[in-house]
Chain A
Amino acid sequence: MTSIQQLTNQITGFQFKGHTFSCLRIQGEQDVLRVEVSQLEEMPIFITVTDTQILCISYLFRKDEIHTDKENQMNQYLLELNVPMPLSAFAVIEDYYVIFGALSRGSTLESISDELVTLAQNSIDSLQALEEFIK
């Protein structure tokens, strides 16, 4: 069983495939951990731990940042990209398009690190790939 506190302690200073993690714990109703992956700092990842899973989310853009006339086409592309994209999927949370990955609470530090690095990379790649849709 991994808690945000345990996760912070484990990840800080851990090295994975040449990347390190810088963590900021934000306490609230439900604790959130903001993680920057070294060399991929532009797209921070927000982690929460729920009863059943570790949820890692990176925020891509707000809905109103997309060209309205191209929204449907982009949504179609996102659905098609979901399966081939490694470890992550696209989703919408309130007004935001996000990219996320969910892990079992029993995941090893390696699996979590792999998820974070892959997610940050996917987030940067997606933003660049979707540039034509952004205002």
Chain B
Amino acid sequence: MNIITKLLTAIRGSAREIGEAVVDTQSLRIFEQEIHESKENLAEAKSGLTEIVAKKMAAERRLDSVKSEISENEGYAVEALGQDNESLALEVAEKIAKLEAKAESQAEELANYEKNVEILKSQIQEAEKIIAEHERELAMVKTRESVQQATKSVTQTVTNNDSAIGSARESLERIKQKQQSEQDRLEAGMELKKELEGDDLDGKLKASGIIKDKHSAESVLARLKKK
């Protein structure tokens, strides 16, 4: 079962109880131990790989030296034949045949090392993948537990103190009231600005004589004249 499925099962089922672990402490410890052992095995496999790679390189060097010995002796055999020294050529040919047999077995040995290196490398890769996967699972289980503990503490805080969290309706009303009073303040500000601007305009109109002052001496005199 993958870890998400396990978590979901825990949430769905009887493990709903707060604080109940998805994986009990005992199996968590076993799991941690398994990861630890896998890591040790991995370290061993890596040092084993280094050893085999070193052996492979030595085998390559040996094969190269036999091959160059073969070509050197082939040169001698050709020279002996050139001197019509058949028996000497045969002696060299025998040596070449032995060297060729040696080269063949060394090539086999080398191929064997190469195969082992490949196998070890893929094993190491596989082990690293598994360890990473296990560590992710462990982290998820541990995170769930610490989160559960954390949310438990928070919920206790929230429920212990009734004033800490009111009903959603109350919060909504408070939010609305605040937004309304902010809106009112904004509108009042606009109103005030408008009035001030209006006053200013009145002043300008009066100054230019377009609006006449009701209580000017001029208007009093005009009224008196009418009488």
Please report A residues at the B interface, Cβ cutoff 8 Å. 26, 28-32, 34, 42-44, 46, 48, 50-53, 55, 57, 59-62, 65, 93-94, 96, 124, 127-128, 131, 134-135
CA distance A31 to B149 in the complex (A): 10
Q: Mark B124-158, 1 if CB is under 8 A from A, else 0.
A: 00000000000000010011001101111111111
CA distance A93 to B172 in the complex (A): 21
Residues of chain A within 8 A (CB-CB) of B36 are: none
Residues of chain A within 8 A (CB-CB) of B146 are: 50-52
- A61 x B168 contact (CB < 8 A): yes
Q: How far is the CB of A71 from chain B (nearest CB, A)?
A: 14
Flag whether B57 is at the interface (Cβ < 8 A). no
Please report B residues at the A interface, Cβ cutoff 8 Å. 18, 139, 142-143, 146-147, 149-158, 164-165, 167-169, 171-172, 174-176, 178
- B154 x A46 contact (CB < 8 A): yes
Q: Is the interface of B mostly helix, strand, loop or mixed?
A: helix
Q: How far is the CB of B135 from chain A (nearest CB, A)?
A: 13
Cβ 8 A contact of A94, one of B142, B155, B176: B155
CA distance A61 to B158 in the complex (A): 12
- A34 x B157 contact (CB < 8 A): yes
Given A44-B164, A127-B175, residue A29 in contact with residue B149 (CB < 8 A)? yes
Residues of chain B within 8 A (CB-CB) of A28 are: 153, 156-157
- A59 x B165 contact (CB < 8 A): yes
In the complex formed, the residue of A with least CB distance to B143 is A52
Residues of chain A within 8 A (CB-CB) of B150 are: 30, 48, 50, 55
In the complex formed, the residue of B with least CB distance to A39 is B178
